[in-house]
Structure 1
């Protein structure tokens, strides 16, 4: 089979897959059941899909009803689904931030033409890996309190603070999930805990993103200055995967914060927004206060 025939076959296969996926998403036959009743005349076939539910009678009549809202399907409330999704984003993003802070590949050599060694520079040490035998040697920085470049100090501070905030938000979010029995009798407090976790995640994401972008911009400026002055030091550094992990973790925390604040507020019923309500007083106390007020009114007339 020639190259043109393979391209046509691949195109047809992709087209068939796209049509099949589109049909599966649109058609309501995702779950079906039937009800016969006392007679075959009253038989009804029930079909439920992603967007509508249909009932097909034995007479051939088909009636379909769209779901009331895309955000309130039966089986799982949208608020619980948002909480679980935000928890997944927060957990994965927190792991990314921790890995970015602990690993040592924020800058890598990009222009080593000999490819004899692979150099990585991080927040805590610098490592060199021999490409021939795979031996890795790391040089620890002198001390945390020693004089370091500004980008090292600022990135360390911002990333550690972002890690602490993300961990605190993750713990708060775990206690605020609807599937956790903690404070099950007080859903208002659990909802506020989810909102608070979203705000903390937003703060952590901003700090983590500032730290990662600060380091990346400093690397770019350093590289641009060397190129503009025609200075060749043997090794030019580029962004490492630890820097990308920090950016990805920060963006993931921001997405989780949006889900826990804006989206969760929009998908929660207005009656459960924990508005301040006056608790009804017992009838006896109300009657006593009414009688007392009448007595004061009579005394004032006298």
Structure 2
């Protein structure tokens, strides 16, 4: 295992975990568009948990979604995926701290530490996939409503929370891939073989004489 690559991968995984923690409560997953509006008196923005509005004077009013079952399916799925992403990232960080070479938490069994580090890499990649699916699915619904000419409601644009989520997903996948690639599973321990002279066997005097006879011939004993 490359210790430097492991540390870099662990840092990328930690940054991804921090960013997904920032993206989840961010209020600006989507913001109302000003396209085609001559006068904009208020701006509406939403995330997975609430809908907020701000007027021209800067007053903010937020309202949490009243019912989970009344929400659209993609919002419920995005919530579940983002929460799963945080859980997977937490497990990946714990496993990564134990599995890297520079850590003493896992003892001196480097075969076991390598397997733990590989597991941490897989967890980071799963975290990135969950985040990527969540924010991409949410963004797809925003763009679908925006370009639908028959959509009667308020049109929204992609907010900063989704961009933070995409950055988190890319970092998590990159860190998990680096950690997995740096992990080399050792199958067996190899011990150095003691040096033996050519044509010499140390198992006993009789075998030593027979090897010597076959090597030097009969004239060697005359």
Q: Same fold (TM over 0.5)?
A: yes
Distance 1:277 1:87, change over 3 A: closer
Q: Where does structure 2 lack aligned partners over 5 or more consecutive residues? A: 192-222
Is 1:255 aligned to residue 179 of structure 2?
Answer: no
Q: C-alpha displacement at 1:186, in angstroms?
A: 1.5
Aligned length, in residue pairs: 189
Q: C-alpha displacement at 1:193, in angstroms?
A: 1.3
Deviations 1:180-204 (A, max 9, x none): 2212321222221111000111112
The 3-state SS of whatever aligns with 1:108 is strand
Q: C-alpha displacement at 1:152, in angstroms?
A: 0.8
The 3-state SS of whatever aligns with 2:178 is helix
Is 1:125 aligned to residue 44 of structure 2?
Answer: no
The 3-state SS of whatever aligns with 1:189 is helix
Q: Distance in 1 between matches of 2:12 and 2:33?
A: 32
Q: Where does structure 1 lack aligned partners over 5 or more consecutive residues? A: 1-77, 280-302
The 3-state SS of whatever aligns with 1:210 is helix
Q: Residue 138 of structure 1: which of 43, 48, 62 is its match?
A: 62
The 3-state SS of whatever aligns with 1:102 is coil
Residues 173-182 or 246-255, more deviating:
173-182
Q: C-alpha displacement at 1:141, in angstroms?
A: 0.8
Q: Residue 196 of structure 1: which of 116, 119, 129 is its match?
A: 119
Which residues in structure 2 correspond to 1:38-187 (within 5 Å)?
A: 79-111=2-34, 112-132=37-57, 134-144=58-68, 146-187=69-110
Distance 1:169 1:117, change over 3 A: same
The 3-state SS of whatever aligns with 2:53 is strand
Q: C-alpha displacement at 1:250, in angstroms?
A: 0.9
Q: C-alpha displacement at 1:135, in angstroms?
A: 2.0
Q: Distance in 1 between matches of 2:11 and 2:38?
A: 42
Q: Distance in 1 between matches of 2:67 and 2:49?
A: 9
Q: Distance in 2 between matches of 1:198 and 1:113?
A: 50
The 3-state SS of whatever aligns with 1:217 is helix
Q: C-alpha displacement at 1:131, in angstroms?
A: 3.5
Which residues in structure 2 correspond to 1:16-35 (within 5 Å)?
A: none
Query: Superposition RMSD on alpha carbons, in Å?
Result: 2.1
Q: Return the TM-score normalized by structure 2.
A: 0.78
The 3-state SS of whatever aligns with 2:90 is helix
Q: Distance in 2 between matches of 1:131 and 1:274?
A: 64
Does the 8 A contact of 2:10 with 2:179 survive in 1? no
Structure with larger RCO (C-alpha < 8 A, sep 6+): 2
Q: C-alpha displacement at 1:210, in angstroms?
A: 0.8
